[in-house]
Amino acid sequence: GKLKKVVKAAEGGVLMIHDADTLREQALVALERGCGVGCGDLVDCSLPPQFDADELLASLCRQFESAGGAVEFPQPVCLVVTGKRGELAKLLQEHPAIGGAIFVKLDFLDYSPAEIAKILRKLVEAANYQLSRELTEERLEKLVRRRLATASAGTAAKNVRLAKTILEEAINRQTDRVYTKETLSLAELSTLMEADFTDKAKDEDEAAGAALSRLD
């Protein structure tokens, strides 16, 4: 099918499975939105919204088992799999054909809050938004640090994922904010303010929980 064509097209090059550990989540989102999912940045392999993540991975395993054979080097395709450390390790254990095709593993240090803030600023520009003047580098970094401090260690998004999540949430809040105004300029419609990066309800809940814990 389509996956076989994709693997064939990647021969002599690189096939990247980006955020492989979130394929199941991507499948659910795609199903809700009715859109496809791309399984690589270097090869266009957009999949239909009804695709099954486990079926995709199993099919990919079969492709590599049939393509590899007894030939160890050179392999026809350079496979790059990215994802969060723990979740990705579990995924590769569940699909040994893919795990066995990987002979080099690279661990990268997490970005610092300052670096995430810079990435966030670039994502804002790429999405055709702009930050208000109040959101200096220092204030934006402070928002990132606050988000990192309140996130749960095991499941929280990190690095670029965190920057994307922060931006998506900010745009959603900005949409709700501007919706209440009758007349807006183009600049106002495309400007994100500091308040858009703050979940007031969540902050109030956390403050209430902290107060109650002190009473105990």
At 186, is the secondary structure helix, strand, or coil? helix
Q: Determine the Cα–Cα distance for residues 15 and 170; give it in Å rounded to an integer.
A: 33
Q: φ, ψ for residue 57 (rounded to 5)? A: -65, -40
The residue ranking higher by pLDDT, 43 or 63, is: 63
**pTM of the entire structure?**
0.62
Average pLDDT, the chain: 75
**How much is the CA Rg of the chain, to the nearest whole Å?**
21
CB distance 16 to 59 below 8 Å? no
* More reliable by pLDDT, 5 or 134: 134
* Cα separation, 163 vs 63, whole angstroms: 34
Please list, in sequence order, all residues whose beta carbon lies within 8 angstroms of the beta carbon of residue 46, skipping any fewer than 6 positions away.
36, 37, 38
How many other β-carbons are positioned within 10 Å of the β-carbon of residue 121?
17
Residue 20 has pLDDT above 80, yes or no: no
* pLDDT tens readout for residues 172-208: 999 988 888 876 788 888 999 999 998 865 554 544 4
